[in-house]
Amino acid sequence: MRAVTFRSDPAQLCIAKKSFAFWPFRTISAGNSDVQQPGKASALTACHSFALKIQFQDETKMTEHSLWRFSRALHRAINERQLADIELMLDDEVEWAIYGPIDLFSFFGSRRGKAAVLEVIRQIGENLRVHRFDRESIMLGVDSAASMLRYSLTALDSNKPISLRIAHFARFKAGKLTSFRVLVDSFDLVEQTVGYPIHLPRIAV
């Protein structure tokens, strides 16, 4: 049995705020070092930096969480259309779902297996460009992670800016992604994408 020790003071496991921006004329890899820096905490998500220490019997080592490698590889795949890094991080049987209106974006919905997930990431890269994301909430487990993020995107066909909040739950096994579920504030996305407000009756007063 492995004992996994999280140290934090006070006992706050893993809420952090991180912001990353991709600058137009810099490659994403130039910004990679940001990923491991503790972000500036806002008043809303006051937090403490934390260290993840994994003890294997006598051996103690600090290790980078798979989420950071996955995040770098995913954004590189989307913005630079370089799929090599992300391919190495996908489990052969990876489960993938982005819950949202598949009528609007065909890359929404569920996929299973490395080939299908690589294809959907390629499609995302053909349609969107990531400019910036702010990690508003984050929780890290040993082989799992969940975040709420705010993204600034561009829809490539219309060159329209899109600001979007998403939540994801990820699981890893031996450093590879085995499960990724994403929920998006889909109505907000629809209005921004179609470019006009959708009239809604008021249900609750």
Binding site for its own copies (CB under 8 A): 1-15, 44-45, 54, 95, 99-101, 103-107, 123, 126-127, 136-137, 139, 141-146, 148, 155, 157, 165-167, 169, 171, 179, 181, 183-190, 193-194, 198, 200-205
Task: Phi first, then psi: give them for residue 194, nearest 5 degrees.
Answer: -75, -25
Judge contact between 127 and 156, C-beta under 8 A: yes
- Residue closer to its own copies by CB (options 33, 57) is 57
Question: Least Å distance between CB 163 and its own copies?
Answer: 12
Q: Could you give the CA distance from residue 95 to residue 84 in angstroms, rounded to a whole number?
A: 19
**Coil, strand, or helix at residue 93?**
strand
What one-character DSSP code corresponds to residue 198?
P
Question: Least Å distance between CB 70 and its own copies?
Answer: 16
Question: Least Å distance between CB 180 and its own copies?
Answer: 10
- Residue closer to its own copies by CB (options 82, 163) is 163
- Residue 154: both structure tokens together: 């561009």
Contacts of 68 (CB under 8 A, 6+ apart): 35, 36
- Residue closer to its own copies by CB (options 20, 172) is 172
Question: Least Å distance between CB 15 and its own copies?
Answer: 5
**Coil, strand, or helix at residue 9?**
coil
- Residue closer to its own copies by CB (options 4, 21) is 4
- Residue closer to its own copies by CB (options 32, 118) is 118
Question: Least Å distance between CB 160 and its own copies?
Answer: 10
- Residue 31: both structure tokens together: 């910004």
The CA-CA-CA angle for residues 104, 105, 109, to 5°, reads: 110
